[in-house]
Amino acid sequence: MHNSLRAMESTRIRVASFAFVIALLLSGASAGSISIYWGQNGNEATLADTCSTGNFAFVMISFLTTFGNGQTPVLNLAGHCDPSSGGCKSLSTDISSCQSSGVKVLLSLGGASGSYSIVSADDAQNVATYLWNNYLGGQSDNRPLGDAVLDGIDFDIEATTEHWDDLAKALSALSTSSKKVYLSAAPQCPYPDSHLGTALQTSLFDYVWIQFYNNGQCEYANGDASNLVNSWNQWTTSVTTVETQGFFLGLPASSAAAGSGFIPAATLISDVLPQIKTSSKYGGLMLWNKYYDEQTGYSTAIKGSV
């Protein structure tokens, strides 16, 4: 009798342990990650040091500020290096270091200032070919970031509306069975985005980091998350991404990083994340940017809850 009871108890413990392991695996499968923009402040950490923190799954090198419409492309990395003199080729080692630690590194197009536009489908193809040869898997005698092959292209488009869908299609077509070209986008939170709305309807983007800042109508304000949550729900039900968990909540990493929309880490963890994480399409958080994150330690404070 006692042996039978011990056997039953042993079985119960094994079942409970198995259930606990399964629960851990499932929670890990749905855990979010953090993406961050790097390159717009020469006083921030190096790219390699950014990746070595272990806080980030994606780093967007920002920005390619001039391209399209026959213009000579210009990479602007603030005080980090001078691409025109070949001074940014040394970043190839940093990029490879990031990738070896599992961090995806993308080149971000656009930004709030610059001169960029795509004027036709042919122009989109020309820009895609340039990006392929100079930053992705192609060949060029003058690759601005050296020989390292980036993981993809980010669209932080804040000007013009035409032919971004054509550029997305042209870049997506460059993916191969051995090397995927990841596509991400950073639309503003009012839906649909006035610049990327058509492009996002192609369903070709792997990740969408929505900017919930500098947009009063859809950001967190005065202790009220309802506008943010409503916008989040509209985005996640209206746009399809390649990745199942492809949507990221985009926030400033400090109150100085944006005009509005900053959410203190404790508030984010207690109030906002529990609401947006109910979506099966939740992928994590995007932060603007690395310099401000270093001032506040924001990513470190939230990483365990993302």
Q: Which residues are part of the catalytic machinery?
A: 158
Q: Are 90 and 146 in contact (CB under 8 A)?
A: yes
Q: Rounded distance, CA 289 to CA 112, Å? A: 14
Q: Are 306 and 285 in contact (CB under 8 A)?
A: yes
Helical H segments across the chain, by residue range: 2-29, 47-52, 91-100, 121-134, 164-172, 197-200, 226-238, 265-267, 273-276, 290-296, 298-302
Query: 282 - beta bridge partners?
Result: 247
Among candidates 77, 19, 71, 86, which has minimal Cα distance to 47? 77
11 sits in the region (left: phi over 0; alpha: psi -120 to 50; else beta) called: alpha
Query: 116 - beta bridge partners?
Result: 67
Q: Is the alpha carbon torsion for 142, 145, 146, 148 positive or negative?
A: negative
Q: Rounded distance, CA 185 to CA 288, Å? A: 14
First vs last C-alpha separation in the chain: 49
Q: Are 166 and 118 in contact (CB under 8 A)?
A: yes
Q: Rounded distance, CA 142 to CA 61, Å? A: 18
